[in-house]
Structure 1
């Protein structure tokens, strides 16, 4: 178990670093306090498709008023911290899943707030907020996000959700220090039981940990309590969440989202709760890609990934650096402000944060023509200080005739095509630009272009140009400038994919695709495998309306 957790820690550190930056969280909080929930959602990279008047006409005034009240207290920047992530080593959101923000009651009949995650882990990392119903979710993969993960009125429940008491968190003293070993798990109070759960999880005794939380797992293969490669299931606080979901949705069966089926009895619940997990061999497992009639997908085993507190124990038999969850935060100051207030109420508030700025342009010394040459980025282009324009033109001619580039010219080729090796500083710049764009940091990109420290003609290791990546940012501010800087509208990556193709494949915004078409993009530009954008829009799209593209 601990090996799995330690393997996940670097990924979760990156995930937390890629959450909405502090200055955005602060701006969203200000908008929410001013009553502008739509602006707060926009800052949290969320597209809102909600017509409150239409909701009122469909569900009635009382239900619409309750939904609008939830919207006024909706903290999407906190929800970002709790959304499931892709498990393939990436740090982007888990694709094709919806988080349902259930009301306090009557979720089976009334309107529900739904947050739709992206179509693809390689697509724009943006959310979509709309209104749906329990019945309309039948063909979707979805789960219930507990209210303390998104409602500012209930975030103090974050402490109790992980077994904490009003005065302290599990395994920690009121001032946040580790409890002495002789005080761990002693007594019959709730906090002591929670400490025993954590210690049993640490020791790998998963069945005992679940039983300590009130789950009957006597007939369960212990290996089924651990999802392969993503850390163990964490039962702390889960029983109360399951009971709440069962009550709110008026259903006797609550399921988790991923994996095969596992039967678990929870006291005081209407009927057995079926918990999916990996490693089982049921003949008729539930379909993990769709909700079933009378069933409810709920946060299950992945809950354990969301706790943000590193725990250190110094006692025989327990590693001195035990981190019970893969979050990687070292201080309360690293947490979301609402999480810090709930988990560490005595910790001082974070100072105001300023937006990050692009770093200085990369520079490298390259062995070329028997000596060391300087290569750098200046005035939006890669510059080779020791070569004249005539030499560059001659090299391009030789390369077109089949010649091989070396030295500075090999660096130039790798920088503008994505093929070949780059100096370390240049590789780091490529990763930083891709990272910032993938997580929607348009101001950072625009400042870098304006200051001349980002070259519009650069490519990543896939051969993607900045125009390929423009679907991740505010493309309305970016596309035409990139085209003016010389990026082809049908720039090809290593397998012939154009920006239009990638957008159609990965859930890019339809307006981004329309803009590319208006700028001359070819809807039938084929990849090496014969596919093209309009084909993808017609035959491999079930996510959005792309009729305007599929007919071309």
Structure 2
């Protein structure tokens, strides 16, 4: 597993794991093709996004002008890029549950993403909808919508960071990288958007569960918070993107990033749209790779049975006899044994299944994992 190469930094290990499994190359490829063909609804379907809005209904309720603005934003939406950038939680890197994340604002109406509630049968699908803040104020949202957090998130808001979901603006990631050097500039954007035309004022920056600072856009000074509730700088502005940290640490190459992200962070690096290198691991019908005595060997399914593909039957029988005497297994045989005894040890297969990538976890391998409770 690639996780081991970043064991010195648990945060980078976490994001390396997310980048390997959360948005498969096959999803990026299909979603990109449909988006480029002008089929935004088909792109959403390919990326596992449930569309819970109707533009004709929006036109009747809010007017044709607003509906046209929503349609324009949907035409730029790259749902695979949105999935790439949505917040995630440890240990498996699944979507942070129960969020309403605003993507765009139209007065009192928001285009939002709604992540599934915690414990929602393990689904990694999320919803795209229109949210009217007036419904929350008058209490109608509580009756019409069972989502546990109907209010749009202050911490996770992407209406100020369209480059994280709009393919037409994805190149802005190279400039709006987040982190301390960007706090003042991002704070001014936040304040202007929220009704302070000159962008002057103070904002709260959340650095961790117990660390916060207040940043004054007048002098850029940061101080411990001792003021009342302030506008909160979104996480996308407060922190350096994990992709940039992974690149700087040498733990990932541009070819392993989402193509739009790679184009922004590593300009000039040629990456075919939707075709990041998935790295080692099982393909839709392929074997799993195992380091075995200085060589890379394969184990895979033969007639529904896991087998060491690069060892002859005679060699396997000999090794099984030696193992009975010495207790030291051949690595390939150890991997096969682990798959049956502890299928959760097949971390790559389990991770693909957790993230909904049934194409990347072959049906036979999925059966092995599920039979073992993984």
Report the TM-score range of the alignment, normalised by the length of the smaller protein: 0.5 to 0.7
Structure 1 residues 19, 285: closer, same or farther in 2, change over 3 A? farther
Provide the rounded CA distance (Å) in 1 between the counterparts of 2:75 and 2:274.
Answer: 24
Q: TM-score, normalised by structure 2?
A: 0.67
1:357 and 2:284 correspond: yes
Contact 1:75 1:150 in 2 (8 A): yes
CA distance in 2, matches of 1:361, 1:151: 36
Give, in whole Å, the separation in 2 of the partners of 1:362 and 1:262: 45
- State how 1:64-463 maps to structure 2 within 5 Å: 64-86=67-89, 88-103=90-105, 107=106, 109-120=107-118, 123-135=122-134, 136=136, 139=151, 141-142=153-154, 143-145=156-158, 146-162=161-177, 234-250=179-195, 259=209, 262=212, 264-267=214-217, 298-299=234-235, 303-310=239-246, 323=249, 329-350=251-272, 353=275, 356-360=283-287, 379-380=303-304, 423-426=337-340, 427=343, 430-444=346-360, 448-449=362-363, 452=364, 454-455=366-367, 458-460=370-372, 463=373
Superposed displacement of residue 377, structure 1: 6.3
Give secondary structure in 1 for the equivalent of 2:87: coil
For residue 505 of structure 1, what is the aligned residue in structure 2? none
Q: Say whether the 8 Å CA contact 1:264–1:274 is kept in structure 2.
A: yes
Cα deviation digits, residues 200-222 of structure 1 (max 9, x gap): xxxxxxxxxxxxxxxxxxxxxxx
More helix by share: 2
CA distance in 2, matches of 1:78, 1:361: 28
Residues 38 and 274 from structure 1, CA distance in 2 versus in 1: closer, same or farther, beyond 3 angstroms?
farther
Q: 1:72 is paired with a residue of what secondary structure?
A: helix
Q: 1:57 to 1:151 in 2, by over 3 A?
A: same
Q: Secondary structure at the match of 1:55?
A: helix
Distance 2:19 2:259 in 1: 13
Deviation at 1:361, TM superposition (A): 8.1
Alignment RMSD: 4.1
Greater RCO, 1 or 2 (C-alpha within 8 Å, sep 6+):
2
**Distance change in 2, residues 1:443/1:7 (3 Å):** closer
Question: Which residues in structure 2 correspond to 1:47-66 (within 5 Å)?
Answer: 47-66=50-69
SS across alignment from 2:128? strand
Q: Is the 8 A contact 2:205 2:215 kept in 1?
A: no
The answer on whether the counterparts of 1:84 and 1:302 sit within 8 Å (CA) in structure 2 is no
Larger Rg: 1
Q: Which runs of 5+ in 2 are unaligned?
A: 1-5, 137-148, 291-299, 308-323, 325-335
Shift of 1:296: 6.0
Structure 1 unaligned residues grouped into runs of 5+: 164-233, 287-293, 313-322, 364-375, 384-406, 408-421, 465-552
Cα distance change, pair 51–254 in 1 and its aligned pair in 2 (3 A): farther
